[in-house]
Amino acid sequence: MKIRLLASPSNIVLLRHVMDYRNFRDHFALRNEAELHVFEKFQAARFLTENGCQRIYANVPIELRSAELRLKELMADVVGERDEKEVIVVFCEIEEPSAELLKHLDSLSRAENARVILYCPHSLDLEPILESFRDDFESGKFAIETFGFSSFRMEEAFKEALELIDRLCSETRVKMLLPLLVNPQRKSNYRKTINPKLLYENLSFLRSSGLIEELFDDEYALTPLGGRILCEYMAFVEKVRRTLEEARRQGSLGRGEF
């Protein structure tokens, strides 16, 4: 048994969709669909993009066939095609597993060319599914991807993010970090614009945070983690800036300072 996509051009997820949540939402959100479910689909599409799928679809019907016999048609939230041989079917769940989902999984467990991913909050109880399809999970045919935006995990995630923002939200640290995106810097370069006391304090702080490292005596560079975090932070700040500017242009946000 194999699955076949019944996709139309409107189901195709383009790069611009996975780069911007609003763009994805405008194109793929269904009427009366919970916002969390739309966000899960967006995250799932990004996950498939990052994991090598050449073609990605959302809200797409798929058909199960055996030889020339059509057995069943079902709707998948997100689907990715990889290497023209494997189809990855994603179901985004925001509530406890339903009987309909169990039926879909039972059908897909027999599809030769399909892998299945359940994308859901960490808080969902998936034990019934794990028990029912243990062999499929152990073989890797089925997998679960969770995100932590629920209960205490949401609090932890925000706490970590806010602590990171606090580390980067400093004029002195920004002055020190941005030049490192170009090349390593020596203390003598920093002393031209930064008070020596602040310089030594922040060098120590950034090293202990794992954002920079000392290459040689008196020369510093971003760590791989520091480079990635700094660029992610810059992208986040730029996205927020653009969103606020657009809201102000449309008159949906006051002009007070933030």
What is the model's pLDDT at position 69? 62
- The separation between the first and the last C-alpha atoms of the chain, rounded to the nearest angstrom, is 57
Distance CA 184, CA 176 (A): 10
Residue 182 forms part of a structural domain:
yes
Instruction: Per residue of the chain (258 residues), give pLDDT as tens.
Output: 888 899 999 999 999 999 888 889 999 999 989 988 999 999 999 999 988 898 999 999 998 887 666 677 899 999 999 877 789 999 999 888 888 899 899 989 988 888 999 998 877 888 889 999 999 999 999 999 887 555 445 566 667 777 777 777 788 888 899 899 989 999 988 988 899 899 999 999 899 888 999 998 789 999 998 888 888 888 778 878 877 887 887 776 554 444
Q: Which residues of 18-36 are buried (b: 16+ CB within 10 A; e: fewer)?
A: beeeeebbebbbeeeeeee
Q: Both 116 and 163 in a single domain?
A: no
What is the model's pLDDT at position 152? 45
In this structure, what token pair is assigned to residue 78? 């997100």
What is the model's pLDDT at position 151? 47
Q: Which pTM does this prediction carry?
A: 0.67
What is the model's pLDDT at position 256? 47
The CATH code of the domain that includes 82 is 3.40.1350.10
Q: Which of 81, 75, 92, 229 is nearest to 147 (CA)?
A: 92
Distance CA 135, CA 117 (A): 15
Q: What is the C-alpha R_g of the chain?
A: 24
Beta strands in 20-113 (DSSP E): 55-66, 69-82, 86-92
Q: Both 90 and 168 in a single domain?
A: no
Per 3-state DSSP, what percentage of the chain is helix, strand, and coil (rounded to 5)?
50, 25, 25
In this structure, what token pair is assigned to residue 55? 């073609």
Q: Both 93 and 175 in a single domain?
A: no
Q: Both 76 and 185 in a single domain?
A: no
The CATH code of the domain that includes 191 is 1.10.10.10
Q: Decide: 79 and 90 in contact? Cβ < 8 Å.
A: yes
Give Dmax over CA atoms of the chain in angstroms: 77
Q: Is 195 helix (H, G, I), strand (E, B) or coil?
A: coil
Q: Which of 148, 164, 140 is nearest to 234 (CA)?
A: 164
Residue 130 forms part of a structural domain:
yes
> What are the backbone dihedrals phi and psi of residue 151, each rounded to the nearest 5 degrees, phi first?
45, -130
Q: Both 30 and 138 in a single domain?
A: yes
Q: Both 174 and 136 in a single domain?
A: no
Residue 211: C-alpha distances to residues 87, 228, 246 (Å): 39, 9, 32
Q: Which of 21, 27, 23 is nearest to 9 (CA)?
A: 27
Count of other CB atoms within 10 angstroms of residue 98: 10
**What domain count does the chain have?**
2
Residue 256 forms part of a structural domain:
no
What is the model's pLDDT at position 223? 92
Distance CA 155, CA 44 (A): 22
Last residue of a domain, one of 132, 147, 162: 147
What is the model's pLDDT at position 24? 93
Range of the domain at 139: 2-147
